[in-house]
Amino acid sequence: MPIFDFLSGQFIDVIHWTDDTRDTMVWRFEREGHEIKYGAKLTVREGQAAVFVHEGQLADVFTPGLYMLETNNMPILTSLQHWDHGFRSPFKSEIYYVNTTRFQDLKWGTKNPIICRDPEFGPVRLRAFGTYSVRVIDPAKFLIEIVGTDGEFTMDEISFQIRNIIVQEFSRTIARSAIPVLDMAANTRELGKLLAKEIAPMLAEYGLELPELYIENISLPPAVEEVLDKRSSMGVIGNLNQYMQFQAAEAMGKEGAGAAAIQAGLGAGLGMQIGQAAAQAGPWGAAPQQAQGAAPAARQMPPPPPVEHVWHVAENGETRGPFSKAALGRMASEGSLTRESYVWTAGQDGWKKAEDVMELAQLFTVMPPPPPPSAG
């Protein structure tokens, strides 16, 4: 009985692999001191592939299924060993299980800023990061090109190389896309697909593919973002004169600031009156009208200058501007602004057609309106 146990222990008749590590890509079936029995059962589960290596040469590759290891389903190994169909002896081969499922939620990012030329801002530095997934599509090629004789190969051993490839191609893709920085957030999906397409041939040489690649964020340096925020704030403010009036009114409404603001306003008004009286006085300190006994004439202060409005124009679902009235006049003469164009300025109740705004209607008087439809 002990002799039978010893002999049965020399041969492997069941070969399989179950993995619970979630990061193992390749695992070598340990058969140290054992030989594989002819007719042994080989189990390859879904998401796996089994690769036989015999005396350093790549032999057969088995996809998911249950196999009886015989000469009829090991054609390459049979030809390497010059076995005939009467072969019944045990044999020795290395068996590598390759995980063909997706390895997901892998991170990538630019270690250093990427310099590219933006059509609006000029040369800018960009950073980007995102996630990707990878999968083995050619177990034999992956084993030859990457794994070699490693008995347990994990995702961490190749993720650094993949990240370098992604960052390199991202730099080239961004430089060639000519997409403005302000529009990149709206095109991250298209950029991700384009980037994955560029990377695919390089990874195929390793027997890999990227089923998914996502660009989560593209950012500018903090100093540039700060200036961009100020520029956005100016756009939100709109009319600067109205904003200053609002700020002054808000300051007067605060506790302790109202009285001081009123006193400052009265002082300024009194100073203006004194200055006007001194300008009107003659060399002897009296106004010419008073010297002649005439009643002093009432002088009126000139009205404040009109507020210069700036306008926004709606076109194809997007907003352009702000434009000055002079700029709108040039646009009207060029034809890019018509009577039917919708415009808006601060204080206006919603969007209106340009011809319905009294201040802008005169821009179109230099050109005749569209002719009436022909009769008949």
Per-residue CA distances from 345 to 101, 324, 326, 338 (Å) = 57, 10, 15, 17
- Which pLDDT score, from 0 to 100, does residue 108 have? 93
Please tell me the distance from the alpha carbon of residue 162 to that of residue 197, in angstroms, as a whole number: 14
For the chain, what's the residue count? 376
- Which pLDDT score, from 0 to 100, does residue 235 have? 67
In this structure, are 108 and 180 located in the same domain?
yes
Decide which of 99, 115, 148 is a domain's last residue: 99
In this structure, are 167 and 216 located in the same domain?
yes
Lowest average pLDDT, out of 22-26, 95-99, 323-327, goes to: 323-327
* Closest CA relative to residue 88, chosen from 32, 132, 160, 35: 35
Number of domains in the chain: 3
- Which pLDDT score, from 0 to 100, does residue 366 have? 58
Residue 235 lies in a domain: no
Say which residue the tokens 């590598």 belong to.
Answer: 96
Residue 63 lies in a domain: yes
pLDDT mean over 296-316: 71
pLDDT at 272 over 60: no
- Which pLDDT score, from 0 to 100, does residue 305 have? 63
Can you read off the two tokens belonging to residue 128? 């980007």
**Would you call the peptide bond into 201 cis, given omega within 30 degrees of 0 as the criterion?**
no
Residue 337 belongs to domain with CATH number: 3.30.1490
pLDDT at 122 over 60: yes
Percentage of the residues of the chain whose pLDDT score is greater than 70: 72
pLDDT mean over 307-320: 82
Residue predicted with more confidence, 220 or 47: 47
Residue 40 lies in a domain: yes
Contact 87, 58 (CB under 8 A): no
Residue 36 lies in a domain: yes
Decide which of 175, 190, 224 is a domain's last residue: 224
Please tell me the distance from the alpha carbon of residue 188 to that of residue 116, in angstroms, as a whole number: 17
Residue predicted with more confidence, 66 or 367: 66
Please tell me the distance from the alpha carbon of residue 16 to that of residue 26, in angstroms, as a whole number: 13
In this structure, are 346 and 321 located in the same domain?
yes
Residue 349 lies in a domain: yes
H helix intervals, 281-376: 288-291, 325-334, 358-361
pLDDT band of residue 7 (cuts 50, 70, 90) is very low
Q: Classify residue 126 as exposed, middle or buried by CB count within 10 Å of its CB (0-12, 13-18, 19+).
A: buried
Lowest average pLDDT, out of 155-159, 243-247, 262-266, 312-316, goes to: 262-266
Residue predicted with more confidence, 160 or 309: 160
In this structure, are 39 and 147 located in the same domain?
no
Residue 169 belongs to domain with CATH number: 3.30.479.30
In this structure, are 174 and 93 located in the same domain?
no
In this structure, are 89 and 184 located in the same domain?
no
pLDDT band of residue 333 (cuts 50, 70, 90) is confident
pLDDT at 160 over 60: yes
pLDDT tens profile 220-266: 878 777 777 776 666 666 666 766 776 677 776 665 555 555 455 54
Residue 242 lies in a domain: no
Residue 279 lies in a domain: no
pLDDT at 10 over 90: no
pLDDT at 131 over 70: yes
- Which pLDDT score, from 0 to 100, does residue 331 have? 86
Q: Classify residue 97 as exposed, middle or buried by CB count within 10 Å of its CB (0-12, 13-18, 19+).
A: buried
In this structure, are 89 and 108 located in the same domain?
no
In this structure, are 53 and 83 located in the same domain?
yes
Residue 292 lies in a domain: no
pLDDT tens profile 61-111: 999 999 988 877 787 787 777 666 556 667 778 899 999 999 999 999 998
In this structure, are 107 and 220 located in the same domain?
yes
pTM score, two decimals? Answer: 0.56
> Rounded mean pLDDT of the chain?
78
Lowest average pLDDT, out of 127-141, 156-170, 310-324, goes to: 310-324
Domain that holds residue 46: 2-99
- Which pLDDT score, from 0 to 100, does residue 87 have? 62
In this structure, are 20 and 84 located in the same domain?
yes
Decide which of 175, 205, 224 is a domain's last residue: 224
In this structure, are 110 and 45 located in the same domain?
no
pLDDT tens profile 172-193: 888 887 788 888 888 888 888 8
In this structure, are 17 and 120 located in the same domain?
no
